[in-house]
Amino acid sequence: MTQRLHLVFGGELVDPTKSAFKNVDDIHIVGIFPNYQSAYDAWRAEAQRTVDNAHMRYFIAHLHRLRDEEAEASSTEELG
């Protein structure tokens, strides 16, 4: 069974019209979620919590899209 993991993270942006973080060390990792709906719910909660700060943004990263299970592993993956 394929897992469809999603990462929810966010932080303060340099410019609210771009997606560059002001300080990468301050990125808030909300968590990794097993499906889009639970990731969306977490994203929405954080976005609503920080709605008064125009520079704060939260994102959903589709981790399952970063990995192709059919592709041969890289040499660094084989070390683990």
Domain ranges across the chain: 6-69
- Predicted TM-score (pTM) of this structure: 0.78
> Which residues touch 24 (CB under 8 Å, ≥6 apart)?
11
**Which contiguous run of DSSP H or E holds residue 32?**
strand 28-33
Architecture of domain 6-69: 2-Layer Sandwich (3.30)
Q: Look at residue 43 and give its three-state secondary structure.
A: helix
Task: Identify whether the C-beta of residue 31 lies closer than 8 Å to the C-beta of residue 11.
Answer: no
Determine what percent of the chain is predicted with pLDDT higher than 90.
72
Position 61 pLDDT exceeds 70: yes
